[in-house]
C-alpha cells in the first residue's frame, strides 16, 4: 500500500477522515441555516423560492452539493466502520459495573456519537426525500416572480409543517444534532492535533455556542411556520 | 470492617468466567491488595483456589496491580493505583465488585490477571533513542527549558498500567501510546527518531487490535498518573506531520 492508503486506514487516519468531513458538514450547516431562515421572511416565500432556484441551478453550488453528499456518506460509512472496530476492540465482555467518569464534558454525547449519528442519518434520508427528491422529480408547484417561473418549494415546506408530527420530528432531530455537535465540534480539532492551552478553551466555547444556536435556529423554523399557519 | 466481595473468577483464557461472592474481614489501614491477601489466605486455609491478581512494587510506580473496582480502573480514588488505594475509603458492610481490565488486546490469563504483552510490543516498536555510550554526560550539557522538561515529565509519569484502555468505551490505547511518543518527542535525545517512533508505535497499536480514540476523555479521568489528553493531540500532530512531511518507512 502507498503511504497515503496506509495513513487513511490507520487508526488516526480514519479519525482524521471523520474530523475533516465533520468540519465540512459543520460549515455547511451555517450556509444551510442562513438560506433556510428566509422561510421566515414573511413574503409568502418569494425570497426563499428565488434562493432555492439559485441553489439548484448554479453550477458551482451544484458541484459543491455533490461534494456535500459525498461528505455525508463518507462521514457515515467511516463512522460505522469505526463503531464496528471499536466494538471488536472492547471485546465480548461488558463490565458488570461501569462508572462513566470523563475529564472533559458531555460524557453522554461523547460515548454515543455512533447512535446520535445513526438517528441523524435517518433524519437526513427523510429530510431529503421530503424536499430534495420532490424538487428533483419536479413534483413541486410552480410560481412566477417578475416573469420568471420557479418551483414553489416554500409551499411544499409550509404544507409539511402544517403536520404537527413532522414539526416534532424535525425539532427532536435538531436536539440530536445539537448533542452530536456538542462533542463533535471540539473533538474534530483534538483529532487534528489542534490542542493548545491558549486556544482550546476558545474552541470549546465556540463549539458549545455553535452546537446550541445552529440547531436552535433550524428548530424555530418548523415551530414558527406551524404556529403561523 | 466486614465486606462482601464479588470477584470475577476465570480459570484461564479458554474457559467461561463468573462472579463469586466472598466475605472478608478487613481493617481500614489495609491497602486494597492487603485486603485481597487476607481473602486469599482464608481461601488457601480452606484449600480453595486463591484469587489470581497481579502486583509487584505496591508503591504505585510499577503499573501491575490492574483491576476494575466498582466500575473504575484502580477504584474510586483519583490519581491512585489499586495498591495505593486504602480500605478507609470504603465503609463497613460495603459490597465491592472486582473485575479484570476488559479489552480484546488484554486477554485474561486467570481471574483478575490479564496479558498486557501488547503494550510491551508497542514499546518495542518504539525502538531506541540516540544517546552516546561511554561516560555519562554532564546533566547540563543539553539545555532543556523548564516548561519542556515538565511537560515531558508529565508524559513520562505513565506506568503503562492499561487503565486508559480499561476505562475507554472503545478500548483505545491512545493515552498510553501518546504518553510515550510525547515524552520522547519533547526531549532532544528523543527528537532524533521522533518521526519513525510515532509511525511505528501507532502501527503496532493498530495491529494489536486496540480501538480508535473518540476523544471521550475517560482515560484521563481514570489514569492513576492523571496524564492529560493533550498528549493525544500531540501524538496526532506527530503522526500527521511524520506522515506528510517525512519519508520514513516502518
Q: What is the pLDDT of residues B146-164, one digit of tens each?
A: 999 999 999 999 999 999 9
pLDDT tier at B138, thresholds 50, 70, 90 = confident
Q: Rounded distance, CA A184 to CA B29, Å?
A: 45
| Confidence (pLDDT) at A191 | 97
Mutate to test the interface with B, among A11, A79, A100 (most CBs of B within 10 A): A11
ipTM of predicted complex:
0.92
Q: Do A95 and B102 touch (CB under 8 A)?
A: yes
Residues from chain B contacting residue A110 (CB–CB below 8 Å):
214-217
- List the Cα angle A127/A15/A209 in 5-degree steps: 60
- The number of domains in chain A is 1
Q: Helix H segments across A39-163?
A: 46-57, 59-90, 107-111, 113-127, 134-137, 153-160
Residue range B101-117, pLDDT digits in tens: 999 999 999 999 999 99
Tell if the CB–CB gap between A190 and B221 is shorter than 8 Å.
no
Classify B19 as helix, strand or coil: strand
Distance CA A151, CA A52 (A): 8
Q: Closest-CA residue in chain B for A11? A: B212
A102·B216 Cβ contact <8 A = yes
Domain limits for position A17 = 3-228
β-sheet bridge partners, residue B108: B114
The answer to whether the CB of A110 falls within 8 A of the CB of B217 is yes
Tens-place pLDDT, residues B44-84: 999 999 999 999 999 999 999 999 999 999 999 999 999 99
- Confidence band (pLDDT; 50, 70, 90) for B241? very high
| CATH classification of the domain holding A178 | 1.20.1300.10
- What pLDDT does residue A107 have? 86
- Main-chain phi, psi angles of B2, to 5 degrees: -100, 130
For B22-52, what is each residue's pLDDT tens digit? Answer: 999 999 999 999 999 999 999 999 999 999 9
Distances (CA, A) of B95 to A96, A196, B4: 13, 42, 5
DSSP state of B248: -
Residues with pLDDT less than 70, chain A: 1
Residue B192 makes CB contacts below 8 A (sequence gap 6+) with B129, B130
Q: Write down the pLDDT at residue B159.
A: 97
What pLDDT, on a 0 to 100 scale, did the predictor assign at position A106?
79
Q: How confident is the model at residue B190 (pLDDT cuts 50, 70, 90)?
A: very high
Q: Which residues of chain A does B105 touch, with a Cβ-Cβ cutoff of 8 Å?
A: 89
Which pLDDT does position A94 carry in this prediction?
92
Residue B139 clears pLDDT 80, i.e. is over it: no
User: A191 to chain B: which residues are within 8 Å by CB?
Assistant: 213, 215, 236
- Contact, B63 vs B223, CB < 8 A? no
- Please name which of B171, B159, B239 lies closest in space to residue B202, comparing C-alpha atoms: B239
What's the whole-model pTM score? 0.94
Our measurement of the distance from residue B105's CA atom to the centroid of its chain's CA atoms, rounded to an integer in Å, reads 13
- C-alpha A116/C-alpha A111 separation (Å) is 10
Contact B215 A193 (CB under 8 A): no
Q: Nearest residue on chain A to B204, judged by CA atoms?
A: A10
Which grid cell sits at B80? Answer: 491512585
CB contact under 8 A, B211 and A91: no
**Domains along the sequence of chain B with CATH:** 2-109 (3.10.20.30), 116-130+142-245 (1.10.1060.10)
A73-85 pLDDT, tens digit each? 999 999 999 999 9
Chain A hits for B169, CB-CB cut-off 8 Å, are 86, 90, 111
- pLDDT band at residue B135 under the 50/70/90 scheme: confident
Query: Is the separation of the CB atoms in B129 and B33 below 8 Å?
Result: no
Give the Cα separation of B242 and A102 in Å (integer).
Answer: 30
Amino acid at each position: 500500500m502507498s503511504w497515503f492508503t496506509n495513513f487513511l486506514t490507520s487508526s488516526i487516519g480514519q479519525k482524521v477522515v471523520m474530523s475533516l468531513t465533520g468540519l465540512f458538514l459543520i460549515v455547511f450547516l451555517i450556509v444551510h441555516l442562513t438560506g433556510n431562515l428566509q422561510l421566515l421572511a414573511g413574503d409568502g416565500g418569494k425570497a426563499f423560492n428565488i434562493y432555492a432556484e439559485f441553489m439548484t441551478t448554479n453550477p458551482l453550488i451544484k458541484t459543491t452539493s455533490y461534494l456535500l453528499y459525498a461528505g455525508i456518506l463518507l462521514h457515515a460509512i467511516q463512522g460505522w466502520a469505526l463503531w464496528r472496530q471499536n466494538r471488536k476492540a472492547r471485546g465480548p465482555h461488558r463490565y458488570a459495573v461501569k462508572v462513566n467518569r470523563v475529564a472533559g464534558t458531555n460524557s453522554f454525547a461523547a460515548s454515543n456519537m455512533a447512535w446520535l449519528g445513526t438517528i441523524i442519518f435517518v433524519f437526513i434520508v427523510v429530510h431529503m426525500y421530503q424536499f430534495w427528491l420532490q424538487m428533483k422529480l419536479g413534483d413541486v408547484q410552480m410560481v412566477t416572480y417578475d416573469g420568471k417561473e420557479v418551483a414553489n418549494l416554500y409551499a411544499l415546506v409550509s404544507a409539511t409543517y402544517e403536520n404537527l408530527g413532522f414539526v416534532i420530528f424535525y425539532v427532536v432531530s435538531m436536539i440530536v444534532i445539537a448533542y452530536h455537535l456538542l462533542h463533535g465540534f471540539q473533538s474534530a480539532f483534538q483529532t487534528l492535533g489542534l490542542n493548545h492551552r491558549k486556544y482550546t478553551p476558545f474552541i470549546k466555547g465556540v463549539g458549545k455556542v455553535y452546537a446550541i444556536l445552529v440547531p436552535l435556529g433550524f428548530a424555530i423554523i418548523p415551530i414558527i411556520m406551524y404556529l403561523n399557519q | 470492617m466486614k465486606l462482601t466481595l464479588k470477584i470475577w473468577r476465570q480459570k484461564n483464557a479458554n474457559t467461561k468466567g463468573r462472579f463469586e461472592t466472598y466475605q472478608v474481614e478487613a481493617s481500614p489501614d489495609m491497602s486494597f491488595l492487603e485486603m485481597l491477601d487476607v481473602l486469599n489466605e482464608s481461601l488457601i486455609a480452606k484449600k480453595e483456589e486463591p484469587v489470581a491478581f497481579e502486583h509487584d512494587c505496591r508503591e504505585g510506580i510499577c503499573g501491575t496491580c490492574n483491576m476494575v473496582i466498582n466500575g473504575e480502573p484502580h477504584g474510586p480514588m483519583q490519581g491512585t493505583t489499586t495498591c495505593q488505594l486504602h480500605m478507609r475509603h470504603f465503609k463497613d458492610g460495603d459490597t465491592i465488585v472486582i473485575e479484570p481490565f476488559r479489552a480484546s488486546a488484554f486477554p485474561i490469563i486467570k481471574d483478575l490477571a490479564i496479558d498486557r504483552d501488547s503494550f510491551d510490543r508497542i514499546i518495542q516498536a518504539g525502538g531506541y533513542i540516540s544517546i552516546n555510550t561511554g561516560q555519562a554526560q554532564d546533566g547540563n550539557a543539553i539545555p532543556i527549558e523548564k516548561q519542556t522538561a515538565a511537560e515531558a515529565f508529565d508524559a513520562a509519569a505513565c506506568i503503562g498500567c492499561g487503565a486508559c484502555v480499561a476505562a475507554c468505551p472503545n478500548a483505545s490505547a491512545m493515552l498510553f501510546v501518546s504518553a510515550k511518543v510525547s515524552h520522547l518527542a519533547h526531549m532532544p535525545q528523543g527528537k532524533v527518531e521522533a518521526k519513525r517512533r510515532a509511525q511505528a508505535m501507532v502501527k503496532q497499536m493498530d495491529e494489536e487490535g486496540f480501538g480508535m480514540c473518540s476523544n471521550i476523555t475517560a482515560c484521563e479521568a481514570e489514569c492513576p498518573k492523571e496524564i492529560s489528553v493533550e498528549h493525544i493531540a500531540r501524538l496526532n500532530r506527530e503522526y500527521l506531520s511524520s506522515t506528510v512531511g517525512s519519508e520514513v518507512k516502518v
